[in-house]
A = this chain, B = another copy of it.
Amino acid sequence: MLLVQKFGGTSMGSLDRIANVASKVIQAREQGHQVVVVVSAMAGETDRLIHMAQAIQSDPDAREYAMLVSTGEQVSMALLAMTLLQRGVPARSYTGYQAGIHTSSAHKKARILNLDCQAIQKDLAAGCVPVIAGFQGVDKQGDITTLGRGGSDTSAVAVAAAIRAQECQIFTDVEGVYTTDPRVVPQARLLEKVTFEEMLEMASLGAKVLQIRAVEFAGKHNVPIRVLSSFKEGKGTLITFEENSGLEQAKVSGIAFNRNEAKITVRGIPDKPGIAASILSPISQANIEVDMIIQNVPVDGIIDFTFTVHRDDFLKTVEIVERVAKKLGAQEISKDNRIAKLSLVGVGMRSHAGIASTMFTALGMEGINIQLIATSEIKISVVVDEKYLELGVRTLHSAFHLDLDRQEAIEEFDPRPDRE
């Protein structure tokens, strides 16, 4: 198989850990695979660089910022290439521009436009391991760009797509994708397989295993991703297309959650065409992303309009909305940044009304009041008071029978490490 293996900052965090990464690469080669490696900066390094930049400019110049932080991967990739060479494996490291990763020029969030993989293809043909800097590229002007934090996953998937790799393996500090966060629900189960769509919902809803753009990219280019641990043996979780939908078979794969959102409601505005746009346009112009948008049927030609934004954007959003609401003749603005969002994720569940009612009943039984509801093809999300987050997740995890049963638990948590 032709594999792309991506190692994050924790996996590359020290010379010892880099040696461990080299072992993973060598192991894959010994199993007969061809390997291209994509790396992040050593853990802590990117933060060190950002702190220096921010000590100079509170909002560092975009071009210089990319110049600065891109050195993080350049260091780690050179160290890994040296480690492979020292162990007799031909290897060559590449910066984003050397690897031909062309991007847009967007401020700290460049998007990959196209890849020119000649150098990498040549290395592969020669039996050499290319080691590529994640998270960075080059724009039309020849300036270094960065993809934004976590962008290394996207780099890896883009490289995998460009060279038509059979699998893009993302090594992290977790063993794969779980039904929910094991720190909240100890019975959470490792999923063997999820679909891109499910993963997208899980990732965007706060299961911080993979960067959402990487999953989108992988889905779009049909690159199977495997999430697995740098530190423990195991097959991890394969993220791929839905193979057989099982038609009527609804399946809840997991429970995602986050407490990163804030809720704003504009009350008592006239129900006119374009009213939603007049509230949301100035917000998107300020580069603020809106997540949930809820508008109910009008009562006496008057509606309430509710939406959520990232908690970091809360104050800025309130400021904009207050200005706009005045013009629209709104009666009141209510706002709340102490909320949590819980989501059931699973293919084919929308058509099963039973799932939603099981969800609402289970939460109601625990006295958890639902503030907002939103649904999509593969998820049902509710917003609740932040204090109910853990209780809500545990309740849903158990209500949908996701808990690891006792027998499985014993097998899963075999105390002997590295069993053969």
A interface vs B, CB < 8 Å? Answer: 15, 18, 49, 52-53, 55-57, 60-61, 63-65, 67-68, 70-71, 74-75, 77-79, 81-83, 85-86, 92-93, 95, 98, 119, 142-144
Bound-state Cα–Cα, A304 to B63, Å = 63
Contacts of A79 in B (CB 8 A): 52-53, 56, 68
Chain B residues whose C-beta falls within 8 Å of the C-beta of A86 in the assembled complex: 56-57
- Docked Cα-Cα span, A127 to B74, in Å, equals 31
A12 to chain B, nearest CB (A): 12
Q: Most chain-B CB neighbours within 10 Å: which of A56, A77, A81, A98?
A: A56
Q: Which residues on B sit within 8 Å (CB–CB) of A67?
A: 74, 77-78, 81, 93, 95
- A55→B15 contact, CB < 8 A: yes
Q: Are B98 and A83 in contact (CB under 8 A)?
A: no
> Do A60 and B74 have beta carbons less than 8 Å apart?
no
- Of B64, B75, B82, the residue contacting A78 (CB under 8 A) is B64
CB of A398 to closest CB in B, whole Å: 48
Which chain B residue shows the least CB distance to A94? B67
Q: Are B98 and A52 in contact (CB under 8 A)?
A: no
Please provide the 3 A-B residue pairs with the shortest distance between their CB atoms, ordered closest to farther: A68-B78, A71-B71, A67-B78
Q: How far is the CA of A174 from the CA of B86 in the complex (A)?
A: 41
Whole-angstrom distance from the CB of A215 to the nearest CB of chain B?
30
User: Could you name 22 residue pairs across A and B whose Cβ atoms are closer than 8 Å?
Assistant: A15-B52, A15-B56, A49-B75, A52-B75, A53-B78, A56-B86, A57-B86, A60-B82, A61-B85, A63-B92, A64-B78, A64-B81, A64-B85, A64-B93, A67-B74, A68-B78, A71-B74, A71-B75, A74-B74, A95-B144, A98-B143, A119-B142
- Nearest Cβ in chain B — how far from A58, in angstroms? 9
Would you give the shortest CB distance from A60 to chain B, in whole angstroms?
A: 6
Known: A64-B82, A65-B82, A68-B75; 17 extra A-B contacts, CB below 8 A, are: A15-B52, A53-B82, A56-B79, A56-B83, A57-B82, A57-B85, A61-B82, A63-B92, A64-B78, A64-B85, A64-B93, A67-B93, A67-B95, A74-B74, A95-B144, A98-B143, A119-B142
Bound Cα distance from A85 to B52, whole angstroms: 15
Instruction: Provide the residues of chain B in CB contact with A52, threshold 8 Å.
Output: 15, 75, 79
Contacts of A77 in B (CB 8 A): 67
Q: What are the residues of chain B within 8 A of A65 when measuring CB–CB?
A: 78, 82
Residues in chain B near residue A98, CB distance under 8 A:
142-143
Q: How far is the CA of A53 from the CA of B83 in the complex (A)?
A: 9
Which of A63, A67, A119 has most B Cβ within 10 Å?
Answer: A67
**Given A49-B75, A92-B63, A56:B68 Cβ within 8 A:** no
A68 contact from B18, B74, B143, Cβ within 8 A: B74
> Which of A68, A92, A93, A143 has its CB near the most chain B CB atoms (within 10 A)?
A68
Determine the chain B residues whose CB is within 8 A of the CB of A53 once the complex forms: 78-79, 82
Q: Closest CB of chain B to A17's CB: distance in Å? A: 13
Complex: chain B residue closest to A86, CB-CB: B57
**How far, in angstroms, from A295 to B65 measured CA to CA in the complex?**
59
Chain B residues near A55 (CB, 8 Å)?
A: 15
Q: Nearest-CB distance from A220 to chain B (Å)?
A: 30
Q: Which residues of B contact A143 (CB under 8 A)?
A: 98
Among A15, A64, A71, chain B packs the most CB atoms within 10 A around the CB of A64
Closest to A18 in B: B56
CA distance A61 to B85 in the complex (A): 8
Q: Which residues in B have their C-beta under 8 angstroms from that of A63?
A: 92
- A63–B98 Cα distance when bound, in Å, is 13
- Which residue of B has the minimal Cβ distance to A67? B78
CA distance A93 to B143 in the complex (A): 10
Docked Cα-Cα span, A83 to B64, in Å, equals 10
